[in-house]
């Protein structure tokens, strides 16, 4: 019997922007590596785009659809809130 993995995070995206230009990009499927890179961000005049992709699941029409959450953060507190919410929302 297959394990039900729907609703669990499958990949993480992190983009750092300064003055409208992307200065750092990181994509991974590992949660701990993602957390490590969030700690390395230099927050001077930066905004961070965070996206968490989840495994596909069935919708009401019986189709497989993918779900994601994303947010643009301007402070470390915003980023911590987003990561905590996106991970625990479907756990």
**CA triple 14-23-34, angle to 5 deg:** 25
Query: How do the pLDDT tens digits run along the chain, 91 residues long?
Result: 455 555 678 889 999 999 989 999 999 989 889 999 999 999 899 999 999 988 888 888 988 888 888 999 999 999 999 988 888 755 5
pTM for this model (two decimals): 0.79
Q: Residue 78: give the domain boundaries.
A: 9-88
Q: Give the pLDDT confidence score for residue 47 in this predicted structure.
A: 95
Q: Give the pLDDT confidence score for residue 22 in this predicted structure.
A: 94
Is residue 20 one of the residues assigned to a domain? yes
In order of 17, 52, 56, 63, 64, the CA distances from 59 in angstroms are 34, 19, 9, 6, 6
Is residue 3 one of the residues assigned to a domain? no
Give 3-state DSSP helix, strand, coil % of the chain, rounded to 5.
25, 40, 35
Q: Give the pLDDT confidence score for residue 64 in this predicted structure.
A: 86
State how many domains the chain has: 1
Q: Give the pLDDT confidence score for residue 54 in this predicted structure.
A: 86
| The residue to which tokens 């990009």 are assigned | 25
Q: Give the pLDDT confidence score for residue 90 in this predicted structure.
A: 54
């Amino acid at each position: 019997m297959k394990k039900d993995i729907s609703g669990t995070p499958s990949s993480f995206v992190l983009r750092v922007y300064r003055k409208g230009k992307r200065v750092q990009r990181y994509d991974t499927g590992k949660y701990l590596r993602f957390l490590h890179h969030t700690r390395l961000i230099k927050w001077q005049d930066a905004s961070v785009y965070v996206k968490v992709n989840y495994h596909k699941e069935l919708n009401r029409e019986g189709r497989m659809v993918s779900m994601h959450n994303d947010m643009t953060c301007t402070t470390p507190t915003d980023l911590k809130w987003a990561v905590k919410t996106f991970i625990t929302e479907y756990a």
